[in-house]
Structure formats: structure tokens, C-alpha cells
């Protein structure tokens, strides 16, 4: 069970970090609001607004970027898989082309030597 947890943590670490940053943004926003809810002077409220509000926006934005990077990583992993499959397919097509050329070359070389191929003799 411990290995499964480690695998999940490895695969979803960016989502966990992004979620933690968004939760921290919510906590910063609530802490900023609690600090200024009873203050009537704007000059006293400004530092709390800057720390709580703007800090919460920055943390939330960073959290969303980290979560989005998990999607980008998944797309890049899938692209690498498709590219690998494409290379394997290309190798197989090249091999089949070589086999086809090898199968056709003996007929062409026999015609050059003056011996007609039975398949080509019937076509003519």
C-alpha cells in the first residue's frame, strides 16, 4: 500500500502543491479580512489589504499555474508516447519497403541478364 501512495504522490505532486497554494490563498484572504473587519481607518486597513488580498491573489495565481503545469506534463508525456509509436511504425514500414524491394529486385536483375521473369512474361 505504501508503494501505491508513493506512486500517486509522484504522479500528482503538482496538483497537491497547487491545491495547497490555493488553500493558503484562502487562509491569507480570511486572515486579512479578520484583521480589518473592525477597523474604520483606511490607513490602518491598507497593510492588511496588501498582505491579505494581494498575497491571496498571488498565491491563488501561482497555485493555478502549478495545477495547469500538471496538465501540460500529461500532454507532453502523451506526445512522447505518440512519437515513440511513430518511430516504431516508421521502422516497420522501412523494413517492409526493404523486403518489397528485395522481392522485386531479383526479377529486374533477371531481365537485365536476358532471362525473362515468368510473372512479367505473362503480363506482356
Q: What is the pLDDT of residue 52?
A: 82
Give dist(CA 87, CA 70) in Å, integer: 26
70-122 residue pLDDT tens:
888 888 889 999 999 999 999 999 999 888 888 876 655 555 555 454 544 44
> Hey, what's the cell of 82?
505518440
Q: How many CB atoms lie within 10 A of CB 100?
A: 10
Q: What percent of the chain has pLDDT over 90?
A: 28
Give the burial class of 16: count Cβ atoms within 10 A of its Cβ; 0-12 exposed, 13-18 middle, 19 or more buried.
middle
Does the structure show a pLDDT above 80 at 46?
yes
User: pTM of the predicted model, to two decimals?
Assistant: 0.57
Give the structural domain span for 118.
2-123
- Comparing CA positions, the residue from 1, 10, 14, 4 lying closest to residue 65 is 14
Alpha carbons within 13 A on the beta-carbon side of 16? 8
Distance CA(60)–CA(35), nearest Å, equals 20
Determine the average pLDDT of the residues in 9-16. Answer: 80
Q: How many domains does the chain have?
A: 1
> Which among 92, 25, 77, 20 has a CA at the least distance from the CA of 52?
25
**Mean pLDDT value across residues 35-57:** 84
Amino acid at each position: 500500500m505504501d508503494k501505491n501512495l508513493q506512486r500517486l504522490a509522484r504522479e500528482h505532486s503538482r496538483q497537491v502543491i497547487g491545491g495547497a497554494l490555493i488553500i493558503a490563498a484562502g487562509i491569507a484572504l480570511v486572515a486579512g479580512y479578520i484583521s480589518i473587519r473592525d477597523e474604520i481607518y483606511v490607513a490602518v486597513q491598507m497593510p492588511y489589504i496588501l498582505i491579505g488580498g494581494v498575497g491571496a491573489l498571488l498565491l491563488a495565481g501561482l497555485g493555478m499555474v502549478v495545477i495547469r503545469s500538471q496538465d501540460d506534463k500529461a500532454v507532453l508525456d502523451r506526445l512522447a508516447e505518440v512519437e515513440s509509436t511513430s518511430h516504431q511504425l516508421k521502422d516497420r514500414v522501412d523494413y517492409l519497403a526493404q523486403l518489397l524491394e528485395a522481392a522485386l529486385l531479383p526479377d529486374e536483375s533477371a531481365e537485365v541478364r536476358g532471362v525473362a521473369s515468368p510473372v512479367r512474361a505473362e503480363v506482356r
